[in-house]
Amino acid sequence: MLLSASKLSVEPVKLGWTQRAIFKPVLKIGLLGLLGIGSINLHAQAANVEPTGKSATNGNSLTAGLQLISLNVDDDLIDNEASESGMLRVADETDSRTDDDIDALGDNAVADLTDDNLTDIPAEVAQVSLNAISPETLKTFVAVVDLVRRQYVDPVNDEELFDNAMSGMLTKLDSHAEFLDAEAYENLRAFTEGDVGNVGLKAEYQPAEGYWVVTDIVDESPADKKGITVGDYIHQIGQFKIDGDRQSNDVEQLLNGIAGTQVDVTVSKAGRRKRVITLQRNNTHLQTIETRLVDGIAVIKLPAFQNNTRERILQSLTNLDAPVTGILLDLRDNPGGVLISAVKVASLFMSDTDVVQVKSRQSKLRTLSTQEAALLKPLPVVILQNRYSASAAEVLASSLQTQQRATIVGEVSYGKGSVQSVIPLNNEQAVKLTVAHYLTATGKKIDKIGVQPDVSLSGNERTWEQQALDVLRQQVRSSGLRFVKKDNVDSVADNDKESI
């Protein structure tokens, strides 16, 4: 399944200049190309841009009819950017797979996993057939299943046991691999179009107890179904221990995440043994992008990367209805999302530039580059990140930093350098599997290292935005750009003339 964007008209106008250039890109992206949906999580902010929930192929593109007015910037620069169009370029064009296949095997994924494609399996592995598994191992497996059937405190059917066995096999590979049942698979597909998820609980730190305590449980939510109740203690979320030093926002970010993904939560009843419960973030709600204007600077809070993120950023700038002199892109707590979406967002700021390198077992090193109009190229950019900024967020930050296109402000990011592909098994089930690693455009490793900020910040994060704005203000050099609806371009230009 492909999502195509409608035509976007961009009109570069310097006051008193009447020449027009029309940019009509064609964008295609894989529905399930995911990057960074493991242990880092997101929080959906209140926003002024609502997802449409519809494919752009229906003619209702978020950016249909937008025009860009240049306010005192270089005419040639915008004219050149407006002339660019086309598909996202992959450096190795001799490969028969599309660029989407790097991180999404797509609807025909099962066919792609035939023996003909397994060219990099060690001989000692390739020669082992299923019936060569140790009889003792098979005997032990059957014995465990039978033991659970007979002795477990509650009845469990065989379907559930085998689903759990598949899930355990995958999660033991790495923290990002998962078996997706029908509900998780549907939620993950919904995420690419705009949904985020939570586990259905809230918690507060209670100093008298010395623990984070569950204060609310949503009925029929994943937390409710797994037996978590109000008053339970929370000791750890994923790999992060939580104590009195954590902020409420930290805990919320760790619990919430991309719809359909899962998180391990270590809980206990008061005075009882700790237990680890795996919860899927299936309590879904719409993700929104918050964009606001602060002294002429657009502050864009981007919680994740989805299919239409680039278009929604442009739409949010149009909704500001005012000139923009700089962009503060807030990627704090952004867990990643669709890889190609991060590349498309990078294309707003850079033209014909390498963004990320991807290496898998089945193909040589490949480089993803921008080839769309860099509509925001004239504007200075600051990226604000924290320790929860991961994966696709790190792809964007590292690419703009490498090209000296943006100043990175905050703390060292998470350091997730692996690519997950969602591989359908049938219409209702799928496997999320780590299929590749990525490097920066210059070949530097990010996994377990992260992106180093140009300006380090510490202390209370509530002050970080103001500090980032101070950095950006020093870089503002022009009157900026303004996005308007096509039918409003003449009146806006007239008003701007009168204000000079």
Q: What is the pLDDT of residue 286?
A: 60
**Average pLDDT, integer, range 149-155:** 91
Residue 455: C-alpha distances to residues 335, 380, 382, 401 (Å): 21, 16, 10, 12
Q: What phi and psi, each to the nearest 5 degrees, are found at residue 198?
A: -140, 175
Q: Pairing mode, if any, of strands 297-301 and 326-330?
A: parallel
Of 38, 90, 27, 110, nearest in space to 64 by CA:
27
Of 35, 31, 1, 32, nearest in space to 391 by CA:
35
Of 342, 300, 277, 276, nearest in space to 88 by CA:
342
Q: Which residue has the higher pLDDT, 254 or 203?
A: 203
Residue 42: C-alpha distances to residues 188, 198, 344 (Å): 14, 9, 20
Average pLDDT, the chain: 75
Buried b (16+ CB within 10 A) or exposed e, 122-136: eeeeeeeeeeeeeee
| Among the ranges given (58-62, 109-113, 178-182), the one the predictor scored with the smallest mean pLDDT | 109-113
Q: What phi and psi, each to the nearest 5 degrees, are found at residue 320?
A: -65, -30
Work out the pLDDT band at 188, boundaries 50, 70, 90: confident
Which residues touch 32 (CB under 8 Å, ≥6 apart)?
104, 106, 188, 189, 192, 421, 422
The two structure tokens encoding residue 124: 């000692």
Report whether pLDDT(112) > 80: no
Report whether pLDDT(95) > 90: no
Work out the pLDDT band at 146, boundaries 50, 70, 90: very high
Which residues touch 276 (CB under 8 Å, ≥6 apart)?
264, 265, 266
Q: Work out the percent of the chain whose per-residue pLDDT is above 70.
A: 68
Report whether pLDDT(172) > 70: yes
Which residues touch 226 (CB under 8 Å, ≥6 apart)?
277, 278, 279
What's the pLDDT tens digit per position in 266-282? Answer: 999 877 899 999 998 87
**Average pLDDT, integer, range 243-247:** 79
Report whether pLDDT(84) > 70: no
Work out the pLDDT band at 129, boundaries 50, 70, 90: low
Which residues touch 206 (CB under 8 Å, ≥6 apart)?
212, 213
* Total length of the chain: 500
**Average pLDDT, integer, range 191-209:** 80
CB of 376 within 8 A of CB of 93? no
Distance CA 66, CA 115 (A): 48
Q: What is the pLDDT of residue 399?
A: 97
Q: Which residue has the higher pLDDT, 54 or 243?
A: 243
Q: Which residue has the higher pLDDT, 19 or 258?
A: 258
Buried b (16+ CB within 10 A) or exposed e, 296-307: ebbbbbbbbbbb
Task: Give SS3 for 234.
Answer: strand
Report whether pLDDT(246) > 70: yes
CB atoms within 10 A of CB 89: 16
Which residues touch 454 (CB under 8 Å, ≥6 apart)?
401, 407, 408, 409
Q: What is the pLDDT of residue 284?
A: 67
Q: What is the pLDDT of residue 259?
A: 72
Q: What is the pLDDT of residue 66?
A: 56
CB atoms within 10 A of CB 367: 16
Q: What is the pLDDT of residue 196?
A: 66
Which residues touch 231 (CB under 8 Å, ≥6 apart)?
213, 214, 269, 270
Q: Work out the percent of the chain whose per-residue pLDDT is above 90.
A: 40
Which residues touch 76 (CB under 8 Å, ≥6 apart)?
none
Report whether pLDDT(1) > 60: no
Distance CA 5, CA 13 (A): 24
Report whether pLDDT(145) > 60: yes
What's the pLDDT tens digit per position in 27-73? Answer: 222 333 444 433 333 333 322 333 333 333 344 455 555 555 655 54
Report whether pLDDT(13) > 70: no
Residue 267: C-alpha distances to residues 34, 257, 332 (Å): 29, 19, 26
Q: What is the pLDDT of residue 194?
A: 55
Report whether pLDDT(496) > 60: no
Reported as type and span, the H/E element at residue 171 is helix 158-171
**Average pLDDT, integer, range 463-486:** 91
* pTM greater than the 0.75 cutoff: no
Report whether pLDDT(111) > 70: no
Report whether pLDDT(352) > 50: yes
What's the pLDDT tens digit per position in 284-331? Answer: 666 678 999 999 999 999 988 988 899 999 999 999 999 999 999 999
Q: Got the DSSP string for 260-295?
A: T-EEEEEEE-TTS--EEEEEE--EEEE--BEEEEET
Buried b (16+ CB within 10 A) or exposed e, 280-293: bbbbbeebbbbbee
CA 40 to chain CA mean position, Å: 10
Q: What is the pLDDT of residue 56?
A: 37
Is 200 exposed, middle or buried, given 0-12, 13-18 or 19+ CB atoms closer than 10 A? buried
- Tell me the sheet residues that pair with 286: 195
Reported as type and span, the H/E element at residue 357 is strand 354-360
